[in-house]
Chains A and B, each alone.
Chain A
């Protein structure tokens, strides 16, 4: 039943695309009273930053102490100065004295302290467990004390929107008041949200004064865009090849990546405390993992599976400030893959096209989330690319629950990651705990890498940490890059694709992270209407 509905849904999508009901306006295009955006779903639990609103994307109604500019440099927003003490445990932040919330009340350091303290215990999707206490020293100075040194904590200074202590409480998420560029006018749940420029905003006033966020399904939104009702529409890359009258395609690079995670330890019968089987005898051999990396033709994956909307991925943090450019390599090299395998003793003795070593065949299952056609496409294409080098990969669709509760430590899994914080890299490659779940589910361990990662996290500034993050990838001797232990085969970085009104200039978009939220609105106060 579910499958039938899905199939029909997809069929409908295509038909909607094919059907052009041209009702778009012509000639002069003055700035309309409001822009309509269909850029993804709503946040059903509301717009409360202390529960995680804005943690991937931009809080819109709220402002943050710091922010990242289009090049992902850390720049001040609410903060005037910020400083980490030499004990690396205490952040002292002074805020701009002139900031008021959308209701006109002043934003003080007490609101900042309240926001951080509340978020730490609120039980949302923000993890501030490392925060000891936030304290306002006076109206404009706030001190954030950590339990352990951790430079990645700066990510919360960048993403946590400040809420007014006076107005915050149960139900705040449904009537958020913040100090961001826009304020919420109305939210009809499941349907739409109307926001207007916040006249009290201390930054550059946005040129677009009123926005309507439409929460419709993908196909319904597409049909509405065809009818000329939508100005900004996000679409999956599979649908980004069509023409929509009056709209132009806007492609944003992202670190939203996909890759294969290998179990890096042999199957010795070990199980996690929850009873998950750990290890895989084939992928435990670094030769297999490296051969897979070299054999894959990443550009072909981008062209074939992503319709060209993406770029090859060589690591988990491609093109981010903490990316190590030295880890790039020449892929689509079946010859090199063959040599690696032969040298390691993987030979096709029985002539069936699959290599063996010590009686074990070079074969493994690649599991992917069965509802995700993109991951399915990648798994199938990779299996085809590995066949000529004598590795048999068997793609299999599963649901996340089964992957998480049974398969994650013993089979190759197609995962997607990519965030604006290097913390993710730490969690993917640092030696795992006994029950890692998705964090380093392959049980990859390298003492040297652990050392760099720990040092990076404990660094005294974000800039000082960057060389250490890079060394963890590859320090010339070892690392988690392919030249080193190759615990992953990263495949592609997706592009996020939008159709936008021809008259709208959305400026230069920031490289977007994996996940939900509305990252395209990050620079919304730079958007301009270009038609007369």
Chain B
């Protein structure tokens, strides 16, 4: 088992290294072909005050005077040492930019992720267990609607209803203005987090619901479920004792695979709610041509999603006795 875990982790690490190398190369090629001139984006309205000589000074400060291949080689060498470089728009090491913003985003994503996962799973079970019942139809209608709705639109609607008309939730920021993060109570932070998290959850629920429903329907029609029913087991009993275990596995896969989408959704939700997380930094980096930061965020999200999927693989072994057995057999 130990040997196996080591082997497993080694293989995963190898794969991560290859993945990061691939993603890094591809992203670098893409951003180096971006039409945005980072110097123009940086200078902004001061464009008239900047002479061509000063432009050269800025270009030299960022190392943009070197050919792309040299830049990539230098960046990759730094990356190998764990240094992601310095963000041009924040004038701060990329790692610290990401660290600061990820903390705020993490709250949002964690809340939205667990909420949508749990709710989606339960809704899917209910819908699948009572196929074609009114409850099933209602849940499906909701899921299909949400699957077809863009995040930002839901965000806008919620913002308008709850923040503007009803005044129940704040319009922006991660905690009340004027306070420091230490002064803000947990309640206040949750209050500010509520609307963005609900937005992300409402959307995230759809996929997991539909998948779980499908798997539940299959399980309900399986031999073992029919056999249990023949023995007089109630629907609730079948769901709890037979279906749940079989459905949990695909749901788990999906839930961890959705980390990537969560990242993307957070970008939009943060834009709408002026929530100062990683999403807004990504948008800034993109539109202002901050290559080090953009690449840093791309790599970070790669590792983040990869870790999520690896966790899912590890969790299979915990959840599914068959996999444990199989592993044990080869050891």
| Chain A residues close to B by CB (< 8 Å) | 5, 8, 12, 15-16, 19, 21, 23, 34, 36, 44-46, 48, 51-52, 55-56, 121-127, 129, 171, 173-174, 186, 188-192, 194, 212, 214-217, 220-221, 223-224, 227, 229, 400-401, 404, 417, 419, 421, 423-424, 427-428, 433, 435, 438-439, 514-516
For residue B153, which residue of chain A has the nearest CB?
A: A8
Hey, which chain B residues are within 8 Å of A189, CB to CB? 100-101, 276
Question: Which chain A residues lie closer than 8 Å to B57 at the CB level?
Answer: 121, 123, 129
Going nearest first, the 3 A-B pairs with the smallest beta carbon separation are A190-B276, A123-B61, A515-B45
Q: Is the CB of B92 within 8 A of A171?
A: yes
Known: A21-B164, A125-B49, A216-B173; 17 extra A-B contacts, CB below 8 A, are: A19-B160, A34-B178, A45-B89, A45-B90, A46-B91, A55-B49, A56-B46, A123-B58, A125-B43, A126-B49, A127-B53, A129-B51, A190-B280, A191-B177, A419-B48, A423-B49, A424-B48
CA distance A433 to B48 in the complex (A): 14
Q: How far is the CB of B104 from chain A (nearest CB, A)?
A: 8
Question: In the complex, are the beta carbons of A220 and B167 less than 8 A apart?
Answer: no
Chain B 151-180, CB-CB to A under 8 Å as 1, else 0, gives 011001001100111010001111001101
* Chain B proximity of A418: nearest CB distance (Å): 9
Residues on the A chain within 8 Å of B174, using CB: 188, 191
> Measured between alpha carbons, how far is A173 from B90 in the docked complex, in Å?
10
Interface of B: prevailing SS: helix
Task: Tell me, in angstroms, the Cα distance from A383 to B11 when the chains sit together.
Answer: 66
Could you say which residues of chain B place their CB within 8 Å of the CB of A171?
92
Q: How far is the CA of A16 from the CA of B51 in the complex (A)?
A: 42
Specify which of B89, B177, B274 is in contact with A229 (CB 8 Å cutoff): B177
From B288, which residue of chain A is reached at the shortest CB distance? A44
Contact B177 A439 (CB under 8 A): no
Quick one: closest A residue to B167, CB to CB? Answer: A21
Q: Are A220 and B274 also in contact (CB < 8 A) when A174-B92, A401-B36 are?
A: yes
Q: Least Cβ distance of A34 to chain B in Å?
A: 6
Q: B35-72 CB contact bits vs A (8 Å, 1 = yes)?
A: 11100101111111111111001101110000000000
With a CB–CB cut-off of 8 A, which chain B residues contact A433?
A: 52
Question: Measured between alpha carbons, how far is A55 from B40 in the docked complex, in Å?
Answer: 17
The one of B40, B100, B177 that contacts A404, using a Cβ cutoff of 8 Å: B40
Given contacts A192-B178, A401-B35, A516-B45, contact A223 B164 (CB under 8 A): yes
The CA of A173 and the CA of B44, in the complex, are separated in Å by 19
Tell me if B141 counts as interface (CB < 8 A to partner A).
no
Number of chain B residues whose Cβ lies closer than 8 Å to a Cβ of chain A:
52
**Chain A residues touching B, majority SS:** loop
A12-B159 in contact given A121-B57, A223-B171, A516-B44 (Cβ < 8 Å) = yes
The contact of A439 among B40, B48, B89, B100, by CB within 8 Å, is B48
Known: A56-B45, A125-B42, A216-B173. A16 touches B178 (CB 8 A): no
Contact B91 A194 (CB under 8 A): no
Chain A residue at minimal CB-CB distance from B164? A19
Q: Is the CB of B92 within 8 A of A186?
A: no
Residue from B53, B60, B177 having most chain A Cβ neighbours under 10 A: B177
The answer to whether B138 has its CB under 8 Å from any CB of chain A is no
- Is the Cβ of A217 less than 8 Å from the Cβ of B91? no
CA separation between A19 and B89, bound complex, in Å? Answer: 36
Which listed residue (A125, A192, A401) contacts B177, Cβ 8 A?
A192
Which of the residues B37, B89, B163 comes within 8 Å of A44, measured between beta carbons? B89
28 chain-A/chain-B pairs, Cβ below 8 angstroms: A5-B152, A19-B165, A21-B165, A21-B167, A48-B91, A52-B46, A55-B49, A123-B54, A125-B46, A125-B58, A127-B54, A171-B92, A173-B91, A174-B92, A188-B180, A188-B181, A189-B100, A191-B173, A191-B274, A212-B177, A214-B172, A214-B177, A216-B172, A216-B173, A220-B171, A220-B172, A220-B273, A417-B48
Q: Does B218 contact A (CB under 8 A)?
A: no
CB A96 to nearest CB in B, in angstroms, measures 28
Shortest A196–chain B CB gap in Å is 12
Q: Quote the shortest CB–CB distance from A329 to chain B (angstroms).
A: 25
B274 touches A129 (CB 8 A): no
Contacts of A191 in B (CB 8 A): 173-174, 177, 274, 276
Chain B 242-277 residues near chain A, CB threshold 8 A: 273-274, 276-277
